[in-house]
Structures are given as C-alpha cells and as structure tokens.
Structure 1
Amino acid sequence: MTTSPIQMHQILANPSQSQSGPQAPIRQSTGNSLLAKLNAASPVQSPVPVSAAQNQIFSEDEKRDWGFKFHGYPAFARWMGTSEDFFLLRRFSDLNARVLLSMQDEIMFLEERLQAIDKRHMDALFDKTTQGKLRQSILDRTVPVDRTAQEQMKQSRNDTLRHDPDPERKQILKKLRTLLKEYNESVIAFSDMRSRTTANERQITNLENWLYHNYPGAIDPEEHKFAKHHEDLIPILTKDRSPLRHLVEKSRKMRSWSLFSVNKEGGTSTSHFYSGRKMDAFTNVIIIVLGLAMLFGPTWWLNSIESADGKLGIITGFTFLFTVVLVCSSVEQPFQILAGTAAYAAVLMVFMQTTSAKS
C-alpha cells in the first residue's frame, strides 16, 4: 500500500481510550510443574499509577494538546507501519563513513605489524651450512640434532601456522579474523544503504505533517530532530516507479478516486490511503492502450499515403512519440529505450516497404 501526501489542515484523529478491566484471579500452584509455577506467579506491576477515577473525560483538543500522553511513540510507530511512504529513517552517511575509516585504519595498523614480523623472520640470522646439516639430520633421524641450528631455524620460519614460533603473529591473525569480518559486513551493509534512493519531497511532507501539524508535541523535540535531515532520510522500502506512475500519484483528484481508495487502520484522519496494486494496474492499462495506438495508428495512416516523403514524415513523428511514451512509462536504462525505439522504427519501415511494393 502507498499513500498520498497528508493534508496540511488540522483534522484530529479519534483514538479510543482503553480501560483496564478487572484482573482474573490468580490460580494457586498445586504441583511442581513449570505451568503451575507460572500460574502462581504474581502479575507484573506497572510503575505508572493508574487513576481510579472513571469520570476523567478528555476532549479531542486536549488529547491533541497532550499528544505525549495519548499518542506518542505507539501512534507514531503504528502510523509509520501503515505505508512505506511513511517509514523514513536516517542513513547516517557521515557516521558510517567515519566508522568504516576507523575500522580500516585499525586493520591497516595490524597489517603493517604483521608485515614487520614476517620481515623480521626473513632477516633473522641464517647459516646455510648449519641449516643444511640440520635438515639432513632431521631427514636421516640418525644424526644428533644441533640445538643451536634448530633454534636458528625456529626464528626464521614463515612456513607454518600450526607451529608458528611467534605468539604475537598468532594474536594479530586472531584479531584480524574478527575485524575483517566486521569490516566486510559493514561495507556490504552500507553499500546497500547507499544504493537506496533519498526520500522524495512527498514522503518528507508526510513525516513533517504528522510531527508538526497533526500531532505536535507527541514526540519529544530532541528525538524528532531526525526529520530535519532531508538529504539523509531514506524510505525503509524502495520501489521502482515509472514517471507515469509518479504523475498519477501527484494528481490529488486521481488519488481520491474510489477505484484506488482503501480503508486501513493506523493512519490519521488527514491520511488518504490508496491501493498500489490498483494504481499499477491502471497505469499498465494506459501503457497498453498507448502502445496499441502507436502501433496500429501509423500502419493505417501509411496505408493511405502514396508519397514516400509523407510516409517518412509519419514514421519519424510516431517514432519520436513512441520514444516519449517509452520514457514516461518505463524505468529502463537509456540504451534499452533506444533499442526499443529502433525495433519500433524497423517495424514501420518494413510496413512502408511492403505497402510501396504493392502499390
């Protein structure tokens, strides 16, 4: 479901007051089972005192003025959940970039330290003659092993992970395992968030109308500052919509048609809900009708024209119109639109040649 922009005039909603009824009696435990213990447990007591006066009646104006009490986050969350056009959040581009840079620098520091340890093992003292005898004694298993040569070889090893003689290198690799996982996941998550389109003007208007006009004061002023960051707001769900669909949505009269209207709980009295599926079906019908008109119209016209220049003029004009219709009715890339236009022009040219040959 999608929604139209909320009206700017004030029309209050009518939230009903909930009254707490009498509590059911607590059943006594008759055994040692978990169910019996749960039944015997005392109910959770609310820290907020509930007034026993039943004659407290608040007018709609009072409920609106005291929105922090009667609306607040329960109403705000319920309203946001009714449509993807209402559910806007901040992307935090600057903070995400700064955190990623911090993680990158930490990984680079460990990378440089790891390279320094590797180089230290490469540059360690290494006697080729002694190490050759040590290798031969290890292979023969008969010659006594030279402990000095063995210690020298240990300090020069870069060939093992299981028996790494350097404990610091093991610790660095262990830290990198965790850091790289967090870094990779953060980069992928932020790249997905960056690919989302920024909230459009209509969606931002919906949010600001609820916060500042429909229910002013319902959300703490320090906590609704996120709505001021227009360039950083993104819808929780993005859908590709054709320019024709956007044009239909901008028309208040068309949005108000009974054909599109739906009843949905959770909105405000100034919210108008319409069916996204019905609007998609309506725009698809328009596209099909225009497509058929662009196909059959020029063919009948070409059949009645004898002049070659006149036929070329008809083909040129309808090809241009077809390109405009294709741009307004699709979300394809420019080269795909050009490919469709070329195919359309080719069909008309073939028909022109066929009619010319018959004449």
Structure 2
Amino acid sequence: MECIKTYIASWRWSRPTSTHRTHTDKIEKYQPGYPRFAALISSHAPFFLCRRFSRLRARVLLKKQDRLSMLEERLDEIDDKETSLLFLGKSRIDKNAARLSLLEDIESALADYGECSWVQGIKRLEAKSLDKFTEDSRRMLSLDAAESRDMASLQNWLDGTGCIARDESAYIKHSREMACLSPCGDSALVQLEAWVETKLTRVYRGFRQNRDYDLSTDPNVYLYSGQIIKRIARALLLFLITTLLLMPVVICNMANSTTVRLIIIVISTICYLFILSEMTKSRTIELVLAGATYATVLIVFVSGANSM
C-alpha cells in the first residue's frame, strides 16, 4: 500500500453512482473542511465508517441493568411484606400505594429501553417493541468491521490535506472499534478486486494517471471507479472456481489407484473449504454443507470411474 506520495491508498473498486460525471462532481468543488471530507466519504461507500463505542455502551448497559435490579429487589420486598394477599391476586383492587408508585418507576425504567408509539393521543406499547438500547447496541455490534485499507486511506487524506482538526479526526485511529455502515457484498469478489487493483498500480504506474473515472482533481488522490478492475477480478474468480471444481476430477481420472484418488479427494476438499472460509464469511453449517456436497460429487465420480 503506497501511503507516502498519495493521500489515498489503494482500496476496493467502486462504481460511480452516475455515468455522466463532470468537473463539478469532483470532491474539490466543496470547501475545505467537513464539506470536502463529507464529499470524499460519500464518493466511496466503504468510507462510511463509525466508532461502535463499545466501552461506553457496556457502561450504560451496566447502569441500566443495575437500576432495574434495584427496582426489582424493592418490588420483591413490598410483595413479601404485603399483609393483604388479595391485593397480590387482583391488581384492579390493589391499594398498596408504595407498590403502585414503584411499578410506575419500573415502567419508566423499562420505557427507557422500550420503543413506544403514540396513536390518536394515547400512549401504548407496541406489541412487537424491543429493548431499544440493547437492540441498537446489537445492530451496531453486528456491523462489519472496517477494512484497514479504508481507514488508512482516510487517514492519509486527512494527514495530506489537513482539512479536519486532529482531535476531531482521531476517531479513525480506534481501529478495533471502527465499523462500516456500507454492506460488504460479495466478500470474495471484494478481496479479489482489492488484490487486482494493488497489483495493477504496482506493475503499471500509468494506471493511477487514468483520470477518466477519477473522482478527484488532486493528483495525490486516487479514486478509480472504472470497469477494468471488476472485470479482471470476476475472471479470476471464475477461473478459481472452475479450477477447484474440475481439477480434482481431472487428476482422479489420470490416477488408476483407488487409494490415490481418495487421497486426492481428501486434499481437494480441505483446500476447497480452506479457500471458502478465507474468502467468504461462511458460517460453520454452510461450510459443512459445502464440504459434504463437494466431497460427495468427487466420491460419486470415483465410484463411477471404478465401475467402468
């Protein structure tokens, strides 16, 4: 990754949102500072990065839990000391003012979590409402982690332009907490596009000077968004898939020994699952199913070849 002479490092391919780009679409048309920084972020979806603030979320969650725990203990104490058991069995006639007041406090504390709606001026709790704080935290923590190349690109641009104060742009340095708001898409294709783009810029220096699809007029900024990288990456991905599927069949067809064929099947399946797990975000059950299907096809081929 070249970070010395360029503000922006190499990153994933991104197609422009419009095919009719003019000079006014360049990010330099905006005033330096947050206007230009926002234009840069909006020009490339993976640049939509944010901090999760995991430690602060954990702190607030612990406080909210403790508050509800104390309210729960107070409610249990009031119920244990209740002299009229009828009040515990029929809430409509409950005359215990302390319990009624405490239940209102509990409702208020839960409403701090809950998501309520107003319908015709009447406040009611939605049937499908969820714990708002914990649900928001779950969504934030489930976001994809930010790519190091994207964080480095933004940091390079900030260091090179000085548009944003250092203390206000320091959030990018919290690499472990950075999340990407943009959907990742096909992770295997994204990785190949990044690899192809890096190799092209290193082998052919003139590739960076192709300004036809560049979104910036700054010679130190590289924001390529053409079709070449995507087409090469797709071709490599198809070649890799074809090789993984057909190469074991070709090798097994050349081998006469059943033992050798079984060894080839085992090695091929291991390689297939390893590449699949590295290039995609597959779950365990998906890897199991993919490996079982792949091995079954090869075993059927070997069995058919032996019967001939």
What TM-score, normalized to structure 2? 0.70
Q: Distance in 2 between matches of 1:186 and 1:210?
A: 34
**2:95 matched to which residue of 1?**
165
1:296-336 Cα shifts (integer Å, max 9, x gaps): 44445544544444444544454444344434543323453
User: For 1:190-269, what aligned pairs fall within 5 Å after superposition?
Assistant: 190-213=137-160, 215-216=161-162, 218-239=163-184, 241-243=186-188, 245-251=190-196, 252-254=198-200, 263=213, 265=215
Q: Residues 261 and 274 of structure 1 are in contact (CA less than 8 Å); yes or no, is this contact kept in structure 2?
A: no
Determine the C-alpha separation between the residues in 2 that align with 1:320 and 1:254: 31
Summarize the Cα distance change of 1:174–1:271 in structure 2 as closer, same or farther, 3 Å threshold.
farther
CA–CA distance in structure 2, aligned partners of residues 306 and 230 of structure 1:
53
- Which of 55, 63, 75 pairs up with 1:102? 63
**How far does residue 242 in structure 1 lie from its aligned partner after superposition?**
3.3
Count of aligned pairs:
267
Q: How does 1:265-280 map to 2 (within 5 A)?
A: 265=215, 270-274=221-225, 279=230
1:64-213 to 2 correspondence within 5 Å? 70-121=31-82, 124=83, 157-183=87-113, 184-213=131-160
Aligned residue number for residue 9 of structure 1: 5
Q: 2:272 aligns with which of 315, 322, 333?
A: 322
Distance 1:316 1:88, change over 3 A: closer
Structure 1 residue 189: deviation in Å?
1.0
Gapped runs of 5+ residues in structure 2? 9-25, 114-130
What is the aligned partner in structure 1 of residue 292 from structure 2? 342
In the TM superposition, residue 265 of structure 1 has moved relative to its aligned partner by 4.9
Contact 1:6-1:205 within 8 A present in 2 as well: no
Larger mean CA deviation between 221-230 and 287-296 belongs to 287-296
Deviations 1:14-34 (A, max 9, x none): 8348xxxxxxxxxxxxxxxxx
C-alpha deviations, 1:220-253, integer Å up to 9, x for none?
A: 3332232232222222224255356324304424
> Which amino acid is the alignment partner of residue 274 of structure 1?
S
Seen in structure 2, the aligned counterparts of structure 1 residues 117 and 276 have a Cα distance that, compared at 3 Å, is: farther
**Structure richer in helix, relative to its length:** 2
Asked if residue 292 in structure 1 is aligned to residue 242 in structure 2, the reply is: yes
The answer to whether the 8 A contact 1:82-1:266 is kept is: no
Distance between the aligned counterparts of 2:226 and 2:6, measured in 1? 24
Alpha carbons of structure 1 residues 325 and 276: separation in structure 2 relative to 1, 3 Å: farther
For 2:60, what is the secondary structure of its paired residue? helix
TM-score (structure 1 length as normaliser): 0.61
For the structure 1 residues 231 and 268, does the alpha-carbon distance in structure 2 shift closer, same or farther, using more than 3 Å as the test? Answer: farther
Structure 1 residues 81 and 168, CA, compared in 2 at 3 Å: closer, same or farther? farther
